[in-house]
Structure 1
C-alpha cells in the first residue's frame, strides 16, 4: 500500500502545511490561537512516520507562539492604559480654564488700556528695570523694581503710558534689565495670562492663553 507523506524536516509549520479547506477563512490577515492549533494537528497527522516531529520541537513551537501572543496582548493593554491616562489628563486640564497661567514669554497682544502682569527672573539682589515697548519700538512705560534676592520679582503694568493715558491696542514687548552701563544684564521675563480653553493636539495638551496663544502644558511655570 502506498503511503503519501509530507516532506521530512523541522522547518516552520507556517511554510510546510496549509490549513484544511474547511477551515474558517481568515478575516484579519493574522493567525489566531485556534488556527495555530489546527495547523499543528495537521502537521502531526501528515508527518513522516520515519522522522516524526520530536516532542521538544513541538513544545518549542507552542512556546514561540505563546510568546508572540503575550507580547501582542501586552501592547494592547499598554495602549488601553495610555488612552485612559490621556483622557484623565484632559479632564484635569479642562478644570484649569479661567485660571491664570505663567509662561516664559515676553510679548503679549493687548486691548486698549489692558495691562499685564508677570515676573522677572533676577540673578542677584538689587534694582531691576522693566521697559514696556510697543510694536514700533517705542518705550511706552518704565517700571523700577527691586530684587531682594536672586529669583522671581513680580510686576504689574496698569496698561497706561508714562503720560498717564491708556496705551492703544497692539502687541507689547517686556524688556527687563539689571545693572547699569557695561554691567547691564538682560533678564528673563514671564507673563501671566488667562487660560481661555484647552486643546488636545498630537503633541499633547495645549493651553490657549488670552493674548499669548497656545502653549503646551509642559511650558507652564505656574497656574494660579
Structure 2
C-alpha cells in the first residue's frame, strides 16, 4: 500500500466508538462523615418543622378572640348619700339641764358603702357651741347605727336665735370616696325643743 489515508480495519477487527462517559453524580458521604451529614439533615428538618409550628401557633394566637376585661367596680357612694341622721328626744328637759345647756340624742345610721367617720359636729349659730358624745372622730360601720348625744351650750344670748325655724346640725363626714360637710335638718320637733331651751336660758336677757 502506498499513499496516505485512513487505515482500513482489518478483517475480523471492529472499530470501538468512544463516547464521553457520563459524569457520575457525587453520592452521599459514607462512613462517619455520612452519619454526621444525615444527623445534620435531620436536625435542619426538625428545626424547620418546629419553626413552622411556632409560626402557625403564633398566627392562631394573634387571631384568637380577645377577652374583654372585667368591668370596673362601682365607686362607693359619697358619705352624705349613705348616711341618715334622725332626731330622737332631749336627754333632759330644759329645766333639768345645766343653765344654758340643751342635750339631745340623734341616731346616725350608714345604709351602704364603706364605713363612715364623723370628724366634726357643730351648728350654725354664733351664740351657741356644740359638743358630742362620743367625741369626734368616731366611725360607724355600714348597715349599722350609732346613738349620739349632742349638747348645745349658750355662749352669747345676744347672738342666739329665739325662735329658730328649721335649725340644722352641721356634720363633717368622711369615707373612702370623699370628705363632706353636710347640714342635716332635724325637723320641727327639734326646732320646738331648741326654742324652748333657748327661752329658758336667755329669757331674762333683753334684745
Q: TM-score, normalised by structure 1?
A: 0.28
Larger % of strand: which? 1
Instruction: Choose 1 or 2 for highest CA Rg.
Output: 2
What TM-score do you get using the length of structure 2 for normalisation?
A: 0.29
Q: Which has the higher contact order (CA 8 A, sep 6+)?
A: 1
